[in-house]
Amino acid sequence: MDAATLEVLLATQPDAPRRGFNAVRTTGIYCRDGCAGRPRAHNVTRFATTVAAEAAGYRPCLLCRPDRLPASASSPHEVVERALILISAGALDEETEEGLASRVGVTARHLRRLFQDHVGATPAFVARSRRAHFARRLLDETDLRMIDVAAASGFASVRQMNRVMRDVFRFTPAELRARRRQRDRLVADGGLRLRVPFDGALAFEELLAYLAPRAIPGVEVIADGAYRRTTSTHGEPGVIEVSRADDHHLLVVAHLPAWTTLIDDVGRVRRLFGLDAPTAEDTPLVDDALLGPLVARQPGLRAPGAWDQFETAVRVFLGQQVTVAGATTLAGRLVEALGRPVAGLEPLGLTHVFPAASDLAEASVERLRAIGMPEARARALREFARAYVDGRVRLDPATPLDEATQALEALPGVGPWTAQLIALRAMGLRDAFPAGDLGLRRNAARWVGEDAPLDGARLEAMAEAWRPHRALAALHLWFSGRVDAGG
């Protein structure tokens, strides 16, 4: 649809979203803006998301391929957004809508009603669409067998995948693979290669610069413009590599013993690099007197998340009252003491899988002290691991910020800085803000023209104006001083 036709459509459908997809009633397909197709405006219904168009019975256009765009995990309704974040992390792969509703604090019936009102589809349909679109990308870009595509995409069987793919795309997986364009296919030169799409700008190199000094020795390596790490698939080790493919995709190379966790591993990549999080340019921060100039200097920054919530929370714990370099050293010693060794990856700098929460919960205080931790902090770290294992603490991205920080601060050795930084990095809560962080206080002082670091309470008061995007505000403040703090 060209721009002129779109303006006619928006004029005749005042409630239609300006950013969205065009579903053509006469053909039964939906397209992205700018598609070469030229439908008449009166035959078009506008949808905000691909899943809403699919739930209404439309299939994606084979020409403009709207299904290749990243699905949004955002919504103006807080409960819906929290549920979408959980679904994008695979929440409905193993639990029911009732379980999902319980996690966001509503009944299943109310959650379905909210989804119909704000998304245009049920939670179960959103999860089904997630699996179908991931399978379509595997069919386009890899030569995996159908049984492996089904397993990697979260389907219980090839038969189930065939049924869902026919419902969504009107073609079977075999027919879709036969139709793929040659330029979509990635030639493997070791490992399975997959492009991961994102919308808008992404300061990928800057995120690598943030993650590099915090990389856990033996588990993570950042070198030559790429992030590499060990993984565990059903107890067997693997390796994931992430680099920039182009302005709209990251390239993931997966070396895994099985493909059954691939859809979740790609979700972890999205979470780690904030691919579904907003940039400050898309928020009121861009107009803030203090942050606006910082946003202009560093476009495309996204709040980095966690590959594994427990792992990142432990990394934050180790950063208490020490430098970033000191915390990294402690993390390496912890991995060497309690992690599972991985053979054959030493040339990459990868030697271990990060310790399981149960291993850390069962470790003796003496063993934790041996890595260089004071006794009180060793006990606190072990208690945190035990609380995580028995469910007293859940690092759930759908948890409201106040509830999350209260639960964390109820544990010994966890203060506001630790709780807020765990909420920011491990849980991906977008309004988390560790106001007591020395780097934030120092950099904020610089930008308001003062020499001494700001008082934490004063910075906390200033940050009220940055809600609900304080995590992004923290990131821009850290980067304004070249990321010399922040755990």
- 89-115 pLDDT, tens per residue? 888 888 899 999 999 999 999 999 999
- pLDDT tens-digit map of 353-403: 999 999 999 999 999 999 999 999 999 999 999 999 999 999 999 899 999
Domain 3-67's class? Answer: alpha beta
- Helix ranges (DSSP H) in 2-120: 3-12, 50-55, 78-88, 91-94, 97-104, 108-118
Q: Is the pLDDT of residue 187 over 50?
A: no
- 37-51, 166-180, 293-307: which has the minimum mean pLDDT? 37-51
Catalytic residue chosen out of the listed positions 276, 402, 437, 484 = 437
Q: What percent of the chain has pLDDT over 70?
A: 92
Q: Is the pLDDT of residue 487 over 50?
A: yes
Maximum Cα–Cα distance across the chain: 74
- The residues with which 32 forms a beta bridge, in sequence order, are 21
Surface-to-core class of residue 440, CB atoms within 10 Å of its CB (0-12 exposed, 13-18 middle, 19+ buried): buried
End-to-end CA distance of the chain: 48
**CATH superfamily of domain region 78-184:** Homeodomain-like (1.10.10.60)
- Cα–Cα distance for residue pair 16/332, rounded to 1 Å: 53
- pLDDT tens-digit map of 31-89: 888 787 778 878 888 888 889 999 999 999 888 888 887 776 667 788 998 899 899 88
Contact indicator for 460, 435 with CB cutoff of 8 Å: yes
31 a catalytic residue: yes
Q: Which secondary structure element, helix H or strand E, spans residue 263, and what is its range?
A: helix 262-272
- pTM for the full model? 0.85
Closest CA relative to residue 414, chosen from 391, 387, 449, 390: 387
Query: Which amino acid is residue 75, in one-letter code?
Result: S
Please give the pLDDT value at position 213.
95
Residue-averaged pLDDT of the chain: 89
Q: Where are the domains of the chain?
A: 3-67, 78-184
Triad 302, 213, 195: Cα angle to 5°: 45
Catalytic residue chosen out of the listed positions 31, 35, 61, 64 = 31
Q: 138-172: string of b/e by CB count within 10 Å (b at 16+)?
A: bbbbbebebebbbbbbbbeebeebbebbbebbebe
- pLDDT tens-digit map of 420-449: 999 999 999 999 999 999 999 999 999 999
